[in-house]
Structure 1
Amino acid sequence: MPGKKRIVTITGATGFVGRATVARLLEEKNVQVRCMLRPGSDRSALAALSGSLSYCEGDITRPDTLEAAFDGSWGVINLAGYREFWARDRQHFYTINQQGAENVFRACLAVGVDKVVQVSTPLAYGVPKKLPFNESSAPGPHPSDYGRSKHLGDNAGWSLYKESGLPLTIVYLAAVIGAGDDKATMEVRRAVEKKLPALVGADTTYTYLYRGDAAEAITRALLAPDSVGQRFLIGDQRATTREYFNIIGDLADVPIPRANIPERWLLPTARAMEWVARRTGKRPVIPLDVIKTTAAGSLLFSAEKSKRKLKLQYTPLQEALAESVAEIQQESG
């Protein structure tokens, strides 16, 4: 029917990238955004974005809830996942990032969704032999359960794409920066609050991505007519760990430690902290998987395909960090 809006259902809509993606999709006149939430989830942040959002209940770890949630959807964006480097029970990574993703894919097939966008991470490629890697590179060893579990979830999707025609697209988001992040992973808050005792892996280079660019990439991958069966590595703002924190220091006018602690020195301490954390349930200051990931060295990939096919232009890292720093400073008065 001409003029009828296409329903796009988003899992993980209340998350850091999820909220930005909802806001971006609301700009599309021919899209009706449906947010899938677990029972009892707080809708206030989403409701503040628009009164036109619709909602459904579902849980990616409960496959019996998903078909009803996705019924009538033209597209599904799977942003639900465990974005961390520590869990008291390591199986938690695989329950959500691997089995949960497969549950989503199978439900999408069952109800006949036209487009499925799986949101992943370059860490799903592990540490490929040749850097910078690209979308067709073979994955290497995975230093973290986060990266390994995302890789396995993505692979489940590709198997269903090949065997059953799942209309799958995967976007691999670099480390996302911007206001609204309640995770400790990116360490912006600790730096602004002068709680960094030293740097770890100061000369290791990573790739960063502004939150708004992440939402734009997901939206373009969803709406592009020829994106099914495609992978897109997203992000091109590279910086060493020292450069990253120096930008934060300049923006916040706070000192950044000059000392760098080699990962091999920290591994015994991180293992001891891990042992204690599993017994107390409290996240360690230095998660072991963070040290193992840093020790694996720079993780560099090419974003040329995303620039060429999705016409993406990336926001400078300094602008992304400025937004994050400003929010933290405003909160602290």
Structure 2
Amino acid sequence: MPKPKRIVTVTGAAGFVGRALVTRLLKEPSLQVRCMLRAGSDREQLQSISDRLTFCEGDITQPDSLVPAMKDSWGVVNLAGYREFWARDREQFYAINQHGAENVFEACLAVGAEKVVQVSTPLAFGVPKNLPFNEESAPGAHPSDYARSKYLGDAAGWAMHRERDLPLTVVHLAAVIGAGDDKSTMEVRRAVEQQLPALVGADTTYTYVYLQDAAEAIARALLSPDTVGRRFLIGDERATTREYFQLIGDIAGVRTPDINIPERWLMPTARVMEWVSRRTGKRPAIPLDVIKTTAAGSLLFSAELSKQSLAMEYTPLREALTEAVADIRATGTR
């Protein structure tokens, strides 16, 4: 008699990283992949991936919906979150990234899940005192609501791990680059369409990770037997903001801006934009939290633990951006 497949429920399955993870998990013959979506969400993209996917309805901000959605799950991957640097109501960050994560963890305990992977960001470490930081570094100040809300969600999970044996692993993904990103956070589309008038924080260095590497890291964290109680920083492709946009320009054959505007010059303008945007509901061209994050300086961390314990090998940033640019060219302007 064949052994029953282990059910893995993925929240945020319809998102940018979610779709890549679902595709990766389908390669595991021992797993049944269940996609959790909010009521009324479009399933078409996920259904086009495979007819072997199953679906359940749930909303991480609605605790009562989660236990039925996660019933019989061997593993849960929490990818649902608010991945942005602006919200008309800043409480949205905390309702989703903090309290939503807490709701997921409670449901995981209720259904007896054996593996729980929380997908987070290196920004949850804030700005640590020493760079590059690693998984054991103490967090520093958080320059954005996104960063702080993710930190608080992770912290709630670690408290449940210590006090209630939540089988938690946290994966901190660097800035994810690849085809299919519908967010404007990484600014690839605006650069390709030559809609960037100037650079901000041109000499600030960030770390990037290819979409498929991100999905692979999450899968390995889920499936490896010795990852419970551990966290992993994922990604090691570094570039300054100037290098990042020059690379996009080189790949796309477009000119990228040479002018760099210091953050201190932009801060007053960003505050005015923020005030206007809160009244109109339209995302500002330069969110204030982006300026604060850039002004906080380079975000450098060590990915050595992921290389050693998860055997991760990372794709060059050029390849990731080449895929992203090709996708933008194929889909046309918005």
| Normalised TM-score (structure 1) | 0.99
Distance 1:238 1:3 in 2: 44
**How big is each residue's C-alpha offset from its partner over 1:197-222, in whole Å with a ceiling of 9 and x where there is no partner?**
00000000000000000000000000
The residue identity in structure 1 corresponding to 2:26 is: L
Between Structure 1 and Structure 2, how many residues are aligned? 333
For residue 184 of structure 2, what is the aligned residue in structure 1? 184
CA deviation after TM superposition for structure 1 residue 329, in Å: 1.1
For residue 104 of structure 1, what is the aligned residue in structure 2? 104
The residue identity in structure 1 corresponding to 2:107 is: A
For residue 255 of structure 1, what is the aligned residue in structure 2? 255
Distance 2:233 2:115 in 1: 18
CA deviation after TM superposition for structure 1 residue 180, in Å: 0.2
Distance 1:128 1:274 in 2: 27
Alignment of 1:144 with 2:144, yes or no, is: yes
Distance 2:182 2:306 in 1: 27
Q: What SS does structure 1 have at the residue aligned with 2:7?
A: strand
Distance 2:328 2:54 in 1: 31
Map 1:205-284 onto structure 2 (within 5 A): 205-284=205-284
For residue 40 of structure 1, what is the aligned residue in structure 2? 40
CA deviation after TM superposition for structure 1 residue 176, in Å: 0.2
CA deviation after TM superposition for structure 1 residue 130, in Å: 0.4
The residue identity in structure 2 corresponding to 1:326 is: A
Distance 2:323 2:198 in 1: 24
Unaligned runs of 5+ in 2: none
For residue 298 of structure 2, what is the aligned residue in structure 1? 298
**How big is each residue's C-alpha offset from its partner over 1:111-134, in whole Å with a ceiling of 9 and x where there is no partner?**
100000000000000000000000
For residue 167 of structure 1, what is the aligned residue in structure 2? 167
Distance 1:225 1:326 in 2: 37
CA deviation after TM superposition for structure 1 residue 2, in Å: 5.3
Distance 1:172 1:19 in 2: 18
For residue 95 of structure 1, what is the aligned residue in structure 2? 95
RMSD: 0.8
Q: What SS does structure 1 have at the residue aligned with 2:239?
A: strand
Distance 2:278 2:109 in 1: 38
Q: What SS does structure 2 have at the residue aligned with 1:169?
A: strand
The residue identity in structure 1 corresponding to 2:280 is: T
CA deviation after TM superposition for structure 1 residue 331, in Å: 1.9
Unaligned runs of 5+ in 1: none
Q: What SS does structure 1 have at the residue aligned with 2:131?
A: coil
Distance 2:249 2:329 in 1: 12
CA deviation after TM superposition for structure 1 residue 25, in Å: 0.2
The residue identity in structure 2 corresponding to 1:213 is: D
Distance 1:242 1:2 in 2: 55
Distance 1:329 1:226 in 2: 42
Q: What SS does structure 1 have at the residue aligned with 2:45?
A: helix
Distance 1:309 1:330 in 2: 37
CA deviation after TM superposition for structure 1 residue 3, in Å: 2.4
Alignment of 1:132 with 2:162, yes or no, is: no
Q: What SS does structure 2 have at the residue aligned with 1:190?
A: helix
CA deviation after TM superposition for structure 1 residue 169, in Å: 0.2
Distance 2:331 2:55 in 1: 30
**How big is each residue's C-alpha offset from its partner over 1:149-183, in whole Å with a ceiling of 9 and x where there is no partner?**
00000000000000000000000000000000000
For residue 196 of structure 2, what is the aligned residue in structure 1? 196
CA deviation after TM superposition for structure 1 residue 228, in Å: 0.3
**How big is each residue's C-alpha offset from its partner over 1:81-124, in whole Å with a ceiling of 9 and x where there is no partner?**
00000000000000000000000000100110000000000000
The residue identity in structure 2 corresponding to 1:9 is: T
Map 1:20-35 onto structure 2 (within 5 A): 20-35=20-35
Q: What SS does structure 2 have at the residue aligned with 1:172?
A: strand
Q: What SS does structure 2 have at the residue aligned with 1:55?
A: strand
Distance 2:252 2:3 in 1: 48
CA deviation after TM superposition for structure 1 residue 332, in Å: 2.3
The residue identity in structure 2 corresponding to 1:321 is: L
